[in-house]
Structure 1
Amino acid sequence: MFKTKPSILKSATSKSIPSKQNRQGIQFPQSPEQSKPSTSALAKQILHRALQALSAPESIDVMVERKWRKHYPRYFHAMVRHSIQSAQGAVDAAEQALAFAEQEFVVCRDQQTHSLAEEMQSNQALIFDKYIIKGQDNPQLAPWGIPYHGELLTGQALLDQIWTWETQGIIDVTHANALREAAQHPEWFDLSDRTVVLFGAASEAGPLTWLSKWKANIVAIDLPNEKIWQKIQSIIEAGNATLIAPMQPDAKGEKVLGADLLTQNAEIANWLNSFKAKLDLAGIAYLDGEKHVRVSMAMISIMKKVSQIKADSSIMFMLTPTDIYAIPKRVVEVIRTRKQARKAFNKTVSGLSYRLSQRHFFEPNDETVYQADTGAEYAIADCMVIEQGPNYALAKRLQQWYALSARAQGKHVSINIAPSTTTQSVVKNPLLKAAFEGAGLFDVEAFAPETTNAIMAALWIYDLNAPQSPSNPENQLAHPLQLLMENANHGGLWNVPYLARTALPFAAVYGFGKGLRSKYVKK
């Protein structure tokens, strides 16, 4: 087994913002008078650029916002609202905000600091070799199915469950149609002629396990960590795919597997550009806190550089439902219907809670319909959760911006909303764990990781193959934001008549109660 590099592993798992002495790789900018970089200051500046491109008055307000960690959702909401109204403005805002971020984020190497943009342009180092292994299991393609509540759903059972989710409002109709289409094309799942690059390959919510059963050529990018690579190799060996991993010498000259997105992003891009095959680039890496912003910038910088050299490469991201999106007008009609159908008792309790809490609980969702300059009409689903923090919101927005920009430039871009998923990174937060447990109180469903993996893997396959997919740049969209709202698995959040963050405490209380009851029953 290859050894890992302790220094890389340590820097990748540190929980605090690096001091001036140990700052390496992609970092938030830090002025000489600062003891540590301000993530809030840069986030507000980036949002300012986006809002300014949209001629939004909030572009001024965001710069003087004193309660950023409490009020940040209002600026993301404003950005979506103004982006709806101006189709070209939505793309301009994305490109200008990203360009600013690329100039402001810095890369620290050997006590030298450069902007991220400069680093990606000037660093041409090639330090990785290829390590290749092939799966040893059944050479036949594994039929696609969805693991759900202890069963693997295939055939009619699979179609029935898709129909159930659709009719219950758990998934959007476009998402349901995409899954049904994928189920009708088993030939799409033969990936022997595709080379997929997974940034954060061992991600709990990622598609590695399914891709390993579909003969894919998998370029796995993840940290030099022995446990991570044991996991990746065991998955590959149990399937029929081919693993291609970066290999580099450690401080002792011994070969190790892995690469660090935060400190070796330019080298990773250079290595990928040495591949002859067309690449499908999937940005699925996740890190906690401000590192999530930095790793998003790392993935974007790599994708951008690879796309410049390999113009036929495609892009993939998975989005979170706990964000703010433009949504089809028809969703508002569903919300209104559901509000009318609520029991009188529920209406009374939620209305009373809203008034007594001074509008902090059960705040009604905005049902305003906005008209775009293209003539299309959209509403806004505000499902942002304060507890996830502004860094998380910015990290996911950066991914959206790059997707919008790349699609506008003619790239094939698969970017879909994945359901709320009970991954370890989520359930380690007690409040979010309890809220997921109690989500059924509001007709919302959180999915197990294995269910999400299967669904999102199939959706990626659909986007790569279906001519009608919004990912296909040959299809003209009614609005650039259609790329983000199509094929959404929002878990029911779009149909909740309240702002998710104002109903979360009640879902959490209900979830805590369910947990206590289940423990009591087990005893």
Structure 2
Amino acid sequence: MASSGVVFPEVDGRRSTSALGRGVVADALREVDPVGAAAAERETNWRQDYLTHFRRLVEAGLLRDGEAAVDIARAGLDSLHGRMRATGPGGEVPLDAVFEQPVDVPFETATVRGTQRPARELTLPLHGRRLGGDELRRQLDDWLWRGIMEPSATEAVHEVLANPDWLDLSDLRLVVLGAGAEMGPLRSVLSWGGEVVAVDLPRPDLWRRVLDVAGDSAGTLHLPVPGGTVWSGGDLHEHAGADLLHSLPAVAQWLRGVEGRLVLGNYVYADGATNVRVSTAVDALTQELVRHRPDSALAFLATPTDVFAVPGDAVEHSTRAYREPSRGMRLVRPAVRAVSAGRLLRRNYAPGSDPGINDSFIPQQGPNYALAKRLQRWRATTARRDGLTVSLNVAPPTRTRSVVKNRALASAYAGAHRFGIEVFEPATSNTLMAALLVHDLRTAPTPLQAPWREEARGAVHGGLWRTPYDPRSALGLAVVLGLGGARG
């Protein structure tokens, strides 16, 4: 495992991802659910059985009318920051001390200005077409009726449609951490004439794509290049970028100097253990920037393949669909349930649950992915309680590159429509989520609610919350049914 930059702590001479995950989850639960904390600490097969403990974090958070989730979030973040380390020229230091290290080569800003006219109406790419106006409104209402998105999400996008002037975000500086991410808002915000501050790895192929998007947009793109670099418009992609794992002090210094109100958007992703490292680096950077720029807003995308507490009307929708299956499912389901000894096609919820617990974890994604995504939700929860503007919306299942390269996940997504799940294309997802970000930034914040309600607001879960069946109990069948589609 890499041993430079932001790293896992050493335990008995090695840097263990499982030890880190167990410890952070246990610390998060300790005050609210001591029994759950002890169970996490005793877990001997973390890579396989992490699901139970991450679910328990959500269940315990419902205590005290849901306010226990705030204590869990603060404790989890404190544990993560206390355990993770950073290495540099002076050796290994606690994570949050990394910003005290000197910056040898500061970043300078390169700026690219687009040449197009800004779009002044929200349109959404879908199945090779671009929907706007009443056609988009009808599509939103269809998704609502089929249980693909929550009513609050539909209402939010309708509100953006009614206020097209909101799309112009040029009064803000949207920092897109993970500028090349398929799910990020970079392309949409630039098309609307916004100003984007882009950070991603120094990879010429990635930056060539990002710069092409910026040049053909109506917006302005600011990006880091190492100080003293000589570059031209033709070779900027060769010099652009910053490595968050290894250049945190320099990135923080550069972003502190950006003029205007910052919206710090976290869209980073990496495979395996690196996902925890880079997500932790972003969280440390977030803390540092908010300390210096307290008017900053934060933006996140939550994955739908996680555990959430969901409103009672989602449970009721799911229960009704279970009781009234299609004719084909009515014929097949009893046999499937019998042959699998009840393991397949289980109910999604106990009838009448309010809130219900939706567990859409996909085990193959692993405990590192679960921790990386959970710490983003924890930061959103604590930031709201600290008075910051926060946009966190559940994004739909999407055929991103990271999904389709996993054959099992690709097959599951190809067969998911058989169970009322809609899987989106990246262009549809990232535009829809950018519209929800605009809504969150342009509307007055609602009075603070229990954190689970804040997370549920604006969710576009693709139907996972309202499907009749526990998602994992249908996953294997979806894989089998989707094999041909995935190959295609």
Per the TM superposition, whether the score is higher than 0.5 is yes
SS at 1:75 equivalent = helix
Match of 1:186 in 2: 164
Q: Which amino acid aligns with 2:464?
A: L
Match of 1:90 in 2: 69
User: What is the aligned-residue identity percentage?
Assistant: 32
Q: Which amino acid aligns with 2:364?
A: E
Match of 1:435 in 2: 412
Measure, in 2, the Cα distance between the counterparts of 1:233 and 1:158.
29
State the Cα deviation string for residues 163-190 of structure 1 (Å, max 9, x = none).
Answer: 1100011111111111101111110011
* Residues 266 and 478 of structure 1, relative CA distance in 2, 3 Å threshold: same
State the Cα deviation string for residues 279-303 of structure 1 (Å, max 9, x = none).
Answer: 0110001111111111111111111
Measure, in 1, the Cα distance between the counterparts of 2:160 and 2:7.
40
State the Cα deviation string for residues 3-28 of structure 1 (Å, max 9, x = none).
Answer: xxxxxxxxxxxxxx22xxxx211111
Measure, in 1, the Cα distance between the counterparts of 2:39 and 2:334.
31
Match of 2:5 in 1: 25
Deviation at 1:55, TM superposition (A): 2.4
Measure, in 2, the Cα distance between the counterparts of 1:250 and 1:326.
51
Corresponding residue to 1:448 among 391, 402, 425: 425
Match of 2:175 in 1: 197
State the Cα deviation string for residues 35-55 of structure 1 (Å, max 9, x = none).
Answer: xx2111110111101111312
Match of 1:391 in 2: 368
Corresponding residue to 1:492 among 451, 463, 481: 463
Contact 1:197 / 1:281 at 8 angstroms: preserved in 2?
yes
State the Cα deviation string for residues 320-375 of structure 1 (Å, max 9, x = none).
Answer: 111000111111111111111114763564454345434543333332767xxxxx
Contact 1:434 / 1:508 at 8 angstroms: preserved in 2?
yes
Measure, in 1, the Cα distance between the counterparts of 2:81 and 2:95.
5
Deviation at 1:261, TM superposition (A): 1.1
Tell me which moved more, 90-99 or 271-280: 271-280
State yes or no: 1:422 paired with 2:399: yes
Structure 1 vs Structure 2 CA RMSD: 2.2
SS at 1:129 equivalent = strand
Measure, in 2, the Cα distance between the counterparts of 1:281 and 1:325.
24
* Residues 121 and 53 of structure 1, relative CA distance in 2, 3 Å threshold: farther
Corresponding residue to 1:108 among 68, 71, 87: 87
State the Cα deviation string for residues 401-455 of structure 1 (Å, max 9, x = none).
Answer: 0110111000000000000110111100001111111111101000000000110
Deviation at 1:270, TM superposition (A): 1.8
Contact 2:102 / 2:249 at 8 angstroms: preserved in 1?
yes
Tell me which moved more, 265-274 or 452-461: 265-274
Match of 1:8 in 2: none
Contact 2:214 / 2:220 at 8 angstroms: preserved in 1?
yes
Deviation at 1:273, TM superposition (A): 1.1
Contact 2:396 / 2:460 at 8 angstroms: preserved in 1?
yes
Q: Which amino acid aligns with 1:425?
A: S
Deviating beyond 6 angstroms after TM superposition, the runs of 4 or more aligned structure 1 residues are 250-255
* Residues 460 and 264 of structure 1, relative CA distance in 2, 3 Å threshold: same
Tell me which moved more, 97-106 or 506-515: 506-515
Q: 1:109-148 to 2 correspondence within 5 Å? A: 109-110=88-89, 112-121=91-100, 127-138=106-117, 140-148=118-126
State yes or no: 1:152 paired with 2:130: yes
Measure, in 2, the Cα distance between the counterparts of 1:114 and 1:167.
53
Measure, in 2, the Cα distance between the counterparts of 1:424 and 1:206.
13
State the Cα deviation string for residues 216-266 of structure 1 (Å, max 9, x = none).
Answer: 111100111111111111111101211111110599999821100111123
Measure, in 2, the Cα distance between the counterparts of 1:515 and 1:269.
42
Q: 1:290-305 to 2 correspondence within 5 Å? A: 290-305=273-288
Tell me which moved more, 120-129 or 489-498: 120-129
What is the TM-score with the length of structure 2 in the denominator? Answer: 0.94
Q: Which amino acid aligns with 1:134?
A: R
SS at 2:165 equivalent = helix
Unaligned runs of 5+ in 1: 1-16, 371-376
SS at 1:438 equivalent = helix
State yes or no: 1:382 paired with 2:363: no
Q: Which amino acid aligns with 2:313?
A: R
Contact 1:286 / 1:292 at 8 angstroms: preserved in 2?
yes
* Residues 342 and 369 of structure 1, relative CA distance in 2, 3 Å threshold: closer
State the Cα deviation string for residues 477-496 of structure 1 (Å, max 9, x = none).
Answer: 33122221100000001112
Deviation at 1:144, TM superposition (A): 1.7
Q: Which amino acid aligns with 1:401?
A: W
SS at 2:191 equivalent = coil
Deviation at 1:143, TM superposition (A): 2.4
Match of 1:309 in 2: 292
* Residues 329 and 416 of structure 1, relative CA distance in 2, 3 Å threshold: same
Tell me which moved more, 125-134 or 342-351: 342-351
State yes or no: 1:248 paired with 2:226: yes
Measure, in 2, the Cα distance between the counterparts of 1:513 and 1:120.
50
Contact 1:125 / 1:270 at 8 angstroms: preserved in 2?
no
Measure, in 1, the Cα distance between the counterparts of 2:352 and 2:53.
18
* Residues 24 and 251 of structure 1, relative CA distance in 2, 3 Å threshold: farther
* Residues 283 and 515 of structure 1, relative CA distance in 2, 3 Å threshold: closer
SS at 2:222 equivalent = strand
Unaligned runs of 5+ in 2: none
Contact 1:404 / 1:481 at 8 angstroms: preserved in 2?
no
SS at 2:62 equivalent = helix
SS at 1:312 equivalent = coil
SS at 1:218 equivalent = strand
Measure, in 2, the Cα distance between the counterparts of 1:214 and 1:315.
20
What is the TM-score with the length of structure 1 in the denominator? Answer: 0.88
* Residues 336 and 363 of structure 1, relative CA distance in 2, 3 Å threshold: closer
Contact 1:206 / 1:284 at 8 angstroms: preserved in 2?
yes
State yes or no: 1:46 paired with 2:46: no
SS at 2:67 equivalent = helix
Measure, in 2, the Cα distance between the counterparts of 1:431 and 1:90.
33
Contact 1:367 / 1:380 at 8 angstroms: preserved in 2?
no
Match of 1:169 in 2: 147
Contact 2:394 / 2:455 at 8 angstroms: preserved in 1?
yes
State yes or no: 1:267 paired with 2:247: no
SS at 1:420 equivalent = coil
